[in-house]
Amino acid sequence: MNVPHWYKNAVFYEVYVRAFYDSSGDGHGDLRGLTQKLDYLQDLGVDCLWLMPTYPSPLKDDGYDIADYCGIHPSYGTLDDFKSLLDAAHARNIRIIMDLVLNHTSDQHPWFQAARADRNSPYRDYYVWSDTDDKYRGARIIFVDTEKSNWTWDPVAGQFFWHRFYSSQPDLNYDNPAVQEEILNVISFWLDMGVDGFRADAVPYLFEREGTNCENLPETHVLLKRLRQFIDENYPGRILLCEANQWPREVRPYFGNDDEFHMAFHFPLMPRIFMSIRRGDAEPIRWVLEQTPSIPNNTQWCTFLRNHDELTLEMVSEEDRQWMWNEYAPDPRMRLNLGIRRRLAPLLDNDRRRIELANSLLFTMPGSPIVYYGDEIGMGDNILLHDRNGVRTPMQWNIGFNAGFSNAGEIYAPVIDNSVFKLREVNVETQHGDPSSLLQTMQRMIAARKKHLTLGCGNLEWLDCGTRSVAAYSRAFRRERLVILNNLSDSQQSVNIKISGQTFTDVLKNKKFEAVNGQLQISLQPYEYLWLEG
Ligand code: GLC
């Protein structure tokens, strides 16, 4: 079947290269290490990797503080290693998109160093300066736990500079056409090398205007459309994925008229999946999907359960945020900014049924799913580590030294091995050989997801099943229809659905169900999910 827009039916996988596999023995994962593990990713069935930043960087924000847009951090390897990774991935039909941090650079970037040193430098105007710290008061602070202002005094420059994130990350000034040109050059550099696209970081904040909250400004959309046009004209088939932690109605313009982003993360859906599972009530999910406008045919949402950041609660009400913190982050150390710094399995009390259920929702909701590395084996986290590092620990390959991640005496972060998250269970090798493991279940879900185009391209219709404890919906595309049932509660639920069709087959477990007189009656075990074809 011809599906030209590959990303609509793709399964994505987010890789933190430092955590994945250390080929050099220095205690840090690297590009060659990732290349050596591509067979694993191919076996898992993922179509596209999103790599967190691998650029030269002082790593004050784990690489989201870029010091050179056209290089590789020495601890990750070289540009040649990057090319080899791309070739090896493409040979396995795996695409790679990389992080493109548009909004800011590191303060160590030569542009900033030149800018601060000399008012007359052409680079001065690459950043946003002011003699006072009272402009753009309408802009909120994002890293509320660390930053008190979006302005920081630079004694060398003798002025304040503007930054939406850490004060080590000065914002670029996109009002300056030279900055726009620089970024187009960066885009060309990587796309010429063969990268399949970018996850564009923190895009709502590219421009500043007095009297606004400095988010989602029209100027931002004009610039992004320019980037898209440049890609369409020169690199058709490559994609742009938008990171805008905003309401669906605010994200909708980032798709434009299919002339801005190909994809955008669905931020508000994510916390509501956790709410629905905790409350045993489909309503939060249903509500947020109702708030979600339709998007152009060739565009796609990107859905996720977890990523490398805190589980953000910016897109829930104050009351729901408190509730989520109480339920999912009872220990204050689990909280960060407006979110929760925990991984998927710990969030769900390492309850296998709920972990699978959350993934069932992820894989069957509209959008293309992204899996965060390690969540496919149910890795734990470490709240004792600073900032978001607790969810960025080494990938666990086997029960050997350093979980098979590295043979260095000292590694960048400790492996997770405790009484709940036991390394002898939570590792790839052990789960690979066990058909009942989470890893193999994930593999089956990914395979089923890819086989059924309707999950990527189909519409969603909620089904009345008689109880809010079950999220019941159908997905349909061309001649295919799937009926999805997710029991969100910890008790058995009987559903009764009025439906056309006779025989329904669960595509994951091959169980059959018969409708009688146009009614499908099924009893679901606690947290049971079914993907029925028929
Ligand atoms: C994005 C990244 C986050 C980073 C921030 C600043 O939100 O996901 O990790 O800290 O941008 O670049």
Distance separating alpha carbons of residues 449 and 443, to the nearest angstrom: 10
User: Which of 18, 164, 165, 308 best tests ligand 1's pocket when mutated (most atoms within 8 Å of CB)?
Assistant: 165
Rounded to the nearest 5°, which phi and psi values hold at 375? -70, -20
**Annotated catalytic residue 65:** no
Catalytic residue among 201, 310, 356, 376: 201
| pLDDT at residue number 2 | 39
* HEC string for 178-232: HHHHHHHHHHHHHHHHCCCEEEEECHHHCCCCCCCCCCCCHHHHHHHHHHHHHHH
| pLDDT at residue number 1 | 34
| pLDDT at residue number 337 | 95
Contact 280, 257 (CB under 8 A): no
- Cβ(101) – ligand 1 distance below 6 Å: yes
**What SS3 class is residue 429?**
helix
**What SS3 class is residue 458?**
coil
Q: pLDDT below 50 — which residues of the chain?
A: 1-3
Q: 517 C-alpha to center of ligand 1: Å?
A: 53
CB atoms within 10 A of CB 298: 12
| pLDDT at residue number 4 | 60
Q: 202 C-alpha to center of ligand 1: Å?
A: 7
**What's the pTM value of the predicted model, to 2 decimals?**
0.97
First-last CA distance in the chain = 19
In order of 127, 159, 169, 449, the CA distances from 176 in angstroms are 9, 18, 18, 44
What residue type is 203 in one-letter code?
V
- Cβ(202) – ligand 1 distance below 6 Å: yes
**Annotated catalytic residue 314:** no
- Cβ(473) – ligand 1 distance below 6 Å: no
- Cβ(64) – ligand 1 distance below 6 Å: yes
65 CA closest ligand 1 atom index: 12
- Cβ(391) – ligand 1 distance below 6 Å: no
